């Protein structure tokens, strides 16, 4: 039977508290009704292995979607003069990767499974790649090398991040240049392609640690701009990955592992909007106190204003993987739900689909018996929290352990066929190698049946676009449009008055002055409004 895991309590990132009182009704309905016998209890996707385009010794895979929704894979592998950064594009129809192309190479490339390269893709064939190179080795042990315990030794002067850009789909690349000219101690960068054509970068920076006692900091900048680096957080965890995700209105959300004076290393998040960074806030108050760096960063994904956030914590000496969602571009989050099976190693990734369902991958250690092998797992959470038992994507055992930081990307969302996800990870052995998978999810109808025994799962128009509330200020039937004075749709539309296209039957049933709830979405020819419901005003 599908388990109920309804997230009703709301933990805000900023502004206000929100409690979803409807959760109680949903939980009551699901707890009273037995699941039909044909509803699956275990999440069972189809897993197909794809021939990897990466060569022997490859590591550090990263996946990203382009504007056309194609999936790009990047990684580093040995080359004649050191290491090379390469990329490939997935042909989902034929289930194969394109021939690998080289972005950059050299003898100074950092060989790291944690500080791996990244790639972003913009319209018109523009690509931007970022990677790390080793700084020259000092003649004496660096004074800035800090030992933070057995988990990691971090040398802030060891490496710095470089980037290169292509304007022709990756055929040719610009000369590599530093991510910033202000520091040569940069690592764990994230990139995000913004709707206005610019690329936003964020990274961990050790420039201040040349002064004994100063902490690692978090900086950001727009690549290619003339402005200075922007300090986002003056004290952060030294070696956990950062993650950036964007919204249709051009704003962005950045998450990372923070660090307080008391050595609390919880996940932080901050919004980038109108060229400014808001004050960072805790995404969740785990209160993990650790005088070391766990090398386990968070991951974010978005669909419109909806956010999925996944992370690892070992607060209270209990390692676990958590997931939470936000309906309003990171303004507030649901209470975190536990994802793992009790032996979490972390190294998470997450996706959110159009129906609001969240997917999380993570590395799990071996269970107490053979029924739970170690490996890479995938779990799905429905929009209201119900979950099936997870699926193992790749078992892990000696001498070929699943390692590094597995990554996934959406190949296609649900339509008349099941959704698909691409997964990439490093497999250790005598020589590391990258493995890639194409994961086909169960049919939408089967998942909907597992999610809800009351027949109330959203479908059709209820899943398209985004909900909006406003007052109609004009209906122009001959133009096929109406004007709506509406509240803000965080991450998508600012509050204001704008025109929406609508079908004739929708326009014929509406008039100026009506307050409505509706859904809106941006199509190829502009913004459309549909599923409109008129709100009745209380009698005076």
111 pLDDT exceeds 50?
A: yes
More confident residue, 389 or 270: 270
In this predicted structure, the answer to whether residue 26 has a pLDDT above a threshold of 50 is no
Mean pLDDT calculated for residue range 3-13: 32
| Residue 135: both structure tokens together | 């700084």
By mean pLDDT, which of 24-33, 45-54, 209-218, 322-331 is the weakest? 24-33
Q: Which domains does the chain have, with CATH numbers?
A: 58-358 (2.120.10.10), 464-540 (2.40.50.140)
pLDDT at 4 over 60: no
pLDDT tens for each residue of 290-317:
999 999 999 999 999 999 999 999 999 9
Query: What was the pLDDT predicted at 386?
Result: 65
Integer Cα distance of 401 and 189 in angstroms: 26
Q: Residue 540 has what pLDDT?
A: 62
Q: What is the pLDDT of residues 185-206, one digit of tens each?
A: 999 999 999 999 999 999 999 9
Per-residue pLDDT for 358 more than 60?
yes
Q: Mean pLDDT, to the nearest integer, of 17-37?
A: 33
The whole-angstrom separation of Cα 425 and Cα 317 is 27
Element (H, E) at 505: helix 504-507
Residue labelled with tokens 């931007």: 128
Answer whether residue 139 shows pLDDT above 60.
no
Q: Is the peptide bond before 399 cis (omega within 30 degrees of 0)?
A: yes
Residue 532 pLDDT:
95
Question: For residue 7, which of 482, 444, 425, 336 has the smallest C-alpha distance?
Answer: 336
Which pLDDT score is estimated for 176? 97
pLDDT for residue 350: 98
Lowest mean pLDDT among 50-59, 355-364, 445-454: 445-454
Pairing of strands 320-326, 281-282: unpaired
d(CA 41, CA 190): 37
Residues whose CB is less than 8 angstroms from the CB of residue 301 and which lie 6 or more positions away in sequence, other chains included: 245, 307, 308, 350, 351, 352
What's the whole-number average pLDDT of the chain? Answer: 87
CB burial class (10 A; 0-12, 13-18, 19+) of residue 54?
buried
Mean pLDDT along residues 394-417: 93
How much is the pLDDT for 461?
Answer: 64
What pLDDT sits at residue 40? 54
Q: Per the structure block, which two tokens stand in for 265?
A: 């290393």
**DSSP-derived 3-state class of residue 330:** coil
Which pLDDT score is estimated for 232? 98
pLDDT given for residue 203 in this prediction:
98
User: In this model, does residue 41 exceed pLDDT 80?
Assistant: no
Q: Is 30 left (phi over 0), alpha (psi -120 to 50) or beta?
A: alpha
pLDDT score, position 454: 58
For 385-413, b where at least 16 C-beta lie within 10 A, e where not — what string? bbbbebbbbbebeeebbbbbbbbbbbbeb
Q: How many CA atoms lie within 13 A of 143 on its CB side?
A: 8
Q: Taking a C-beta distance cutoff of 8 angstroms, is the pair 361, 408 a contact?
A: yes
Summarize pLDDT for 210-263 with one digit per residue, the tens.
677 789 999 999 999 889 999 999 999 999 999 999 999 999 999 999 999 999
Looking at per-residue pLDDT, the higher value among 11 and 503 belongs to 503
């Amino acid at each position: 039977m599908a388990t109920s895991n309804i997230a009703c309590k709301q933990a805000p990132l900023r502004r206000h508290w929100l409690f979803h009182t409807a959760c109680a009704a949903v939980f009551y309905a699901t707890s009273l009704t037995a699941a039909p016998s044909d509803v699956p209890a275990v999440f069972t996707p189809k897993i197909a292995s794809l021939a990897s385009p990466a060569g022997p010794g490859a590591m550090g895979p990263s996946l990203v979607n382009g504007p056309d929704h194609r999936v790009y894979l990047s990684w580093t592998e040995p080359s004649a003069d050191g290491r090379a950064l390469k990329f490939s594009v997935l042909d989902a129809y034929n289930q194969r990767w394109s021939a690998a192309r080289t972005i950059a190479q050299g003898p100074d490339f950092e060989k790291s499974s944690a500080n791996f390269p990244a790639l972003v893709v913009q319209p018109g064939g523009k690509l931007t790649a970022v990677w790390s190179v080793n700084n020259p080795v000092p003649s004496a042990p660096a004074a800035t090398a800090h030992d933070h315990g057995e988990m990691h030794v971090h040398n802030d002067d060891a490496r710095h991040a470089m980037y290169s850009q292509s304007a022709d789909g990756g055929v040719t690349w610009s000369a590599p240049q530093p991510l910033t000219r202000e520091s040569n101690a940069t690592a764990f960068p994230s990139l995000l392609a913004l709707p206005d054509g610019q690329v936003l970068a964020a990274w961990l920076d050790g420039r201040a640690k040349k002064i004994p006692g100063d902490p690692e900091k978090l900086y950001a900048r727009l690549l290619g701009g003339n402005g200075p680096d922007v300090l986002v957080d003056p004290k952060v965890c030294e070696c956990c990955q950062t993650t950036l995700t964007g919204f249709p209105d051009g704003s962005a959300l950045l998450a990372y592992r923070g660090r307080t004076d008391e050595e609390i290393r919880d996940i932080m998040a901050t919004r980038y909007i109108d060229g400014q960074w808001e004050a960072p806030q805790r995404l969740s108050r785990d209160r993990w106190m650790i005088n070391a760096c766990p090398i386990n960063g968070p991951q974010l994904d978005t669909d419109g204003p909806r956010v999925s956030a996944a992370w690892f914590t070992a607060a209270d000496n209990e390692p676990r993987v958590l997931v939470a969602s936000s309906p309003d571009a990171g303004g507030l989050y649901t209470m975190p739900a536990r994802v793992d099976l009790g032996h979490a190693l972390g190294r998470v990734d997450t996706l959110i689909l159009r129906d609001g369902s969240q997917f999380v991958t993570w590395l799990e250690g071996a269970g107490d018996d053979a029924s739970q092998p170690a490996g890479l797992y995938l779990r799905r959470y429905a929009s209201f929290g119900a979950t099936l038992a997870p699926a193992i994507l790749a078992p892990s055992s000696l001498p070929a352990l699943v390692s590094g930081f597995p990554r996934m990307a959406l190949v296609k969302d649900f339509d008349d066929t099941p959704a698909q996800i691409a997964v990439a990870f490093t497999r250790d052995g005598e020589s590391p190698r990258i493995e890639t998978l194409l994961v086909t999810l169960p049919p939408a109808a089967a998942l909907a049946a597992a999610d809800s025994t009351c027949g109330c799962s959203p479908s059709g128009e209820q899943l398209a676009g985004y909900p909006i509330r406003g007052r109609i200020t004009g209906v122009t039937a001959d133009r096929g449009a109406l004007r709506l004075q509406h509240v803000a749709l965080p991450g998508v539309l600012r509050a204001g008055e704008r025109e929406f296209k609508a079908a004739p039957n929708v326009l014929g049933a509406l008039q100026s002055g009506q307050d409505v709830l509706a859904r809106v979405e941006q199509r190829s020819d502009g913004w459309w409004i549909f599923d409109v419901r008129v709100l009745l005003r209380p009698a005076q």
